[in-house]
Amino acid sequence: MAAPATVGVMKAARSFASDNNASIHPAVLKAIAAANQGHTVGYGDDRWTESAIRRFRQIFGTDCEPFIVFNGTAANCLALKWLTQSYEAVICSEGAHIQTDECGAPERFTGCKLLPLPAPHGKLTVEAVAHAYHGIGDQHHVQPRVISITQATEVGTVYQPEEIGELAEFAHERQMFLHMDGARIANAAVNLGLGLRQISRDLGVDALSFGGTKNGCMGAEAVILFPQKNRHASSSGEKPGHNFLFLRKQGMQLASKMRFISAQFDALLSDNLWRKNAAHANRMAKLLERELRRIPQIQIVYPVEANGVFAKIPRRCIAKIQQRYFFYVWNEEDSIVRWMCSFDTTEQDVKQFVKFVAECMAD
């Protein structure tokens, strides 16, 4: 993604640059304030963390192991590290966040090579993965151990349950693991009309990066580890998450005042706030898509299934729109831009934005 030369404070109240440009949901901020009472033990031995873990287990099963971390890159890297040895490899799409936007942190932290594959609409297929699965047992080659998928994908599409199930099956038959980068898992669940567990653990996901930050939190991500399906792992007889505490600390991801991150999850996972926020963001993206389709110079390039709209627009308009609205050019060569909606995007935001975009086209 290429940012314009001068970035800075938004000119408009709410932009479409990224769901992490959004604010904190009032209920989340309130929960932080409410946790601000007296002293409590640090590093996770507090009742807010206890409560957040309880909520994760209500959703994902009592035998899962949730670990709170600071950001999404860390959630991905720690999950991958937990699933791999340094001489193994992680199969992902060529547009995966772990491949393109984490400055090599996955390689640096795990030692593994990433094997990026072409992925139409951002989705890995069993066919593509099978192609990359070779060199097994050959000491000269990295050994594929994890398939990592992003749900919803980086281009705003959503894996269907059977697509995930097939990848899980492929993985487990070969003693591999399935990792899901769920930075926007809530948006995917809303799109599919299914529960969080139904679209991850129940389909065979072994480790999940669960995102809160893009869905109304101030900064809250988690790694959720599930009892593993593959023979390689289960034979160790250890419960999921065994020793993950040390990986988190050594990975510089242990918060001392953890209660203030946990309280965010506590709020997000209460009263279906995660679902309401994501549903709203998805709805706004559909509205944005509908409105944009009325502009003939604009071509929507991926199915709008989550909270992002990817559009091919006339190159000459990009800078003009960016004068008022900061956003990222997704693909410079093809003049494709990315516009994201958030829990706090309003219908009026969308309409004003599209009106301005249309004006820029018209000039």
Question: Binders of its own copies among 22-61, rule CB under 8 A?
Answer: 22-24, 29, 32-33, 36-43, 45-47
Whichever of 184 and 197 has its CB closer to its own copies, that residue is 184
Strand, coil or helix: 340: strand
Pairwise CA distance, residues 224 & 228, whole Å: 12
Helices H / strands E in the chain, number of each: 14, 11
Q: How far is the CB of 143 from its own copies (least distance, A)?
A: 6
Q: How far is the CB of 27 from its own copies (least distance, A)?
A: 12
Whichever of 39 and 294 has its CB closer to its own copies, that residue is 39
Do residues 308 and 155 make contact, with C-beta atoms less than 8 angstroms apart? yes
Rg of the Cα trace of the chain?
A: 21
Q: How far is the CB of 334 from its own copies (least distance, A)?
A: 13
Among 252, 314, 316, 355, indicate the residue that binds its own copies (CB under 8 A). Answer: 252
Any idea what DSSP says for residue 112?
P
328 dihedral zone (left: phi>0; alpha: psi -120 to 50; beta): beta
- Quote the tokens at residue 205: 């996901």
Whichever of 5 and 362 has its CB closer to its own copies, that residue is 5
Whichever of 3 and 319 has its CB closer to its own copies, that residue is 3
Whichever of 67 and 302 has its CB closer to its own copies, that residue is 67
Do residues 74 and 251 make contact, with C-beta atoms less than 8 angstroms apart? yes
* Residue 10 binding its own copies, by CB under 8 A: yes
Window contacting its own copies (CB under 8 A); options: 6-14, 118-126, 147-155, 192-200: 6-14
Q: Given CA atoms 22, 26, 30, 33 in this order, what sign does their dihedral have? A: positive
Residues between 98 and 117 that touch its own copies (CB under 8 A): 100-105, 107-109, 111-114
Residues between 341 and 360 that touch its own copies (CB under 8 A): 342, 344
Give the residue from 149, 156, 120, 124 showing the smallest Cα distance to 304. 156
Give the residue from 281, 302, 253 showing the smallest Cα distance to 349. 281
Q: How far is the CB of 236 from its own copies (least distance, A)?
A: 5
Please count the residues of this chain forming the interface with its own copies, following the rule CB under 8 A: 91
Residues between 278 and 337 that touch its own copies (CB under 8 A): 326, 332
Among 118, 127, 246, 347, indicate the residue that binds its own copies (CB under 8 A). Answer: 246
Q: How far is the CB of 48 from its own copies (least distance, A)?
A: 10
- Quote the tokens at residue 142: 């990295």
**Cα separations (Å) of 30 from 8, 210, 341?**
28, 21, 23
Q: What is the DSSP secondary-structure string of 156-178?
A: S----HHHHHHHHHHHHHTT-EE
Count of CB atoms within 10 A of residue 51's CB?
18
* Residue 74 binding its own copies, by CB under 8 A: yes
Window contacting its own copies (CB under 8 A); options: 3-11, 154-162, 187-195, 305-313: 3-11
Pairwise CA distance, residues 110 & 80, whole Å: 7
Residues between 154 and 213 that touch its own copies (CB under 8 A): 213
Give the residue from 169, 164, 168 showing the smallest Cα distance to 178. 168
Window contacting its own copies (CB under 8 A); options: 54-62, 151-159, 230-238, 285-293: 230-238
Pairwise CA distance, residues 185 & 164, whole Å: 13
Q: How far is the CB of 119 from its own copies (least distance, A)?
A: 17
Query: Residue 179 pairs with which residues in a beta bridge?
Result: 148, 207
Q: How far is the CB of 223 from its own copies (least distance, A)?
A: 12
Do residues 82 and 138 make contact, with C-beta atoms less than 8 angstroms apart? no
* Residue 118 binding its own copies, by CB under 8 A: no
Whichever of 123 and 248 has its CB closer to its own copies, that residue is 248
Window contacting its own copies (CB under 8 A); options: 118-126, 170-178, 248-256, 286-294: 248-256
